[in-house]
Structure 1
């Protein structure tokens, strides 16, 4: 058996681990969203334990540890479950780093640097998890924490695709294509829209505008853009349920809507640009389709006054959108040269 074939077989289990990490990270993001939607982000007043314990204690011990924060057992358990899942994800990344990247760092083309970046990103994400509690749901930290979770999921997926390509015997020295300006704009708009979504959620602006497409029955509603995007808010107050006034929250909601429209337009242009590329077209249209569904969920959340299940589904849509865009970018960078569809034949009927 050739050495190359042996290496390829040894990579397959780690490819499966990378895919498991992608799915598990999506679960952690959704668990964090559910914790936030249930107002359980401060269910435990300390970190990494809960009232000084590794499991949720009884009311007596909780009162002795933090008498100013009464124990709400359900919220505390939701918060701790999220932490347990995040810790397990960190252990998975550590296994990928030690048993995967370190032991195979001499294998030509093995993405060990990407694995180290993934582990470092998880460590930073853990710090933001701590800051979320210690800064009492400060919107800047909560938004960055959400972006960090989605970034880690994209890194897991990218690592899986790299391992799959290597296991399939692709030439490790091949260079990916650079992203063109329309692709760079689409990626930038996606990141901006995710940040706006996190900012909307962390400032409790999900239903600041009643009705759609107007905001509170008007096209030019009273909007306070300066206060809504005042990024140097004071650290210290408890930001549970938000601190901004109605006009500031309305401005955030309108910005999120405008960001969705810009992202949809960008993805539509990409779809039209690559409509004749057989290899790339399905992935671009997938990203556009998920974006359309996500926009529909956003509208439904506004019209139905943000029901919990639908709000969680909106976060799941963001997860799927990141995955779809990651796949589209991957195929843009690594797919072979475009194969265009043939021009439709013109048949002339002579009288």
Structure 2
């Protein structure tokens, strides 16, 4: 195998490992939040000034106002260790990919973008602790983790295309279909819904509503929208367990439900518009299934009062939804444009007639 091909094979493997590892980091972060371990270590990047969780005496001497809870501290540090390994993996991808940066089809700028994103995500990890779980930062940290996963996936798909040498004659990239506005709308609504989910979690509004589809027996009354979505909350209080009153949390929960409804309509529209394309059916089916499972998990969390394992599955469902939409949109772009397909069919027909 040629040296460049061996390097590409290694980069493909590392980028796929990055997707898997990022999913692990997201789920570890969700579990850390669910068991109230987000401030298990009151400082950053160490824990009570140490690289590993110290004993109770050292912790008390370092931060006497934050008593050590060893299990929570270890949960937080394990999350940090795995997230740090993700950063090292991105650096390895950039270093190993540098010799290929002049290839026309190599995603060099995407690799650099991933490095910049992982640095920003690391900063948000620090702010999550130093700003005492400020909901704005916690929500952005969740979106950043999903963004890192998505860029890893896109990098992997680009590397696969690069390794396959799928260039048209003359070194020009094969034609790709542009995403239609409907794909853009679905992607936008998914981002909004993920942000709403992060806002629910960071404000501890997961069980603010009893019952479904109504909220505490009401459809609309008893909701404080202005306070629930007041984005300029003061920085400084400890936001562990939240600071908002019940009506504000109920408004956040209802907002998340409305976001789920809007996203469902957009995904249904994608299925109805593009199901006729046979090559798209497995990907659209996976997208529809991911949405259906995620919606069911959300309802179950409300009805069963947010058991920890089910809440973690709901986060995993969000990950699956992001991956399925990304893969479906990639498949859409990779299919030959309709005009190209028609021209090829016409050419084949003429060749057959001349035989």
- TM-score, normalisation: structure 2: 0.92
Unmatched runs of 5 consecutive residues or more in structure 2: 343-355
1:315-347 alpha-carbon deviations (Å, 9 max, x no partner): 00011111111101111222223689xxxxxxx
Structure-2 separation of matches of 1:11 and 1:220: 55
The 5-angstrom pairing of residues 240-279 of structure 1 reads 240-279=240-279
The 5-angstrom pairing of residues 40-79 of structure 1 reads 40-79=37-76
In 2, are the aligned partners of 1:8 and 1:168 still within 8 Å (CA)?
no
The 5-angstrom pairing of residues 20-99 of structure 1 reads 20-99=17-96
Structure-1 separation of matches of 2:112 and 2:253: 37
Quote how far apart the aligned CAs of 1:173 are: 2.3
Quote how far apart the aligned CAs of 1:283 are: 1.2
1:143-166 alpha-carbon deviations (Å, 9 max, x no partner): 000000000000000000000111
Instruction: Determine helix, strand or coil for the equivalent of 2:75.
Output: helix
Instruction: Determine helix, strand or coil for the equivalent of 1:280.
Output: helix
Q: Does 1:197 align with 2:193?
A: no
1:254-301 alpha-carbon deviations (Å, 9 max, x no partner): 010011011111001100101111222221221121011000000000
Q: 1:143 aligns with which of 133, 139, 143?
A: 139
Q: Which residue of 1 aligns with 2:153?
A: 157
In 2, are the aligned partners of 1:136 and 1:237 still within 8 Å (CA)?
yes
Q: Which residue of 1 aligns with 2:351?
A: none
Structure-1 separation of matches of 2:199 and 2:332: 30
The 5-angstrom pairing of residues 175-186 of structure 1 reads 175-186=175-186
Q: CA RMSD in A?
A: 1.4
How many pairs were matched up? Answer: 336
Quote how far apart the aligned CAs of 1:6 are: 5.4
Structure-2 separation of matches of 1:173 and 1:6: 22
Structure-1 separation of matches of 2:181 and 2:96: 38
Structure-2 separation of matches of 1:120 and 1:305: 39
Instruction: Determine helix, strand or coil for the equivalent of 1:206.
Output: coil
Instruction: Determine helix, strand or coil for the equivalent of 1:158.
Output: helix
1:18-73 alpha-carbon deviations (Å, 9 max, x no partner): 11100000000000000000000000000000000000000000011000000000
Higher helix share: 2
Q: Which residue of 2 aligns with 1:212?
A: 212
In 1, are the aligned partners of 2:7 and 2:96 still within 8 Å (CA)?
no
Q: Which residue of 2 aligns with 1:167?
A: 163
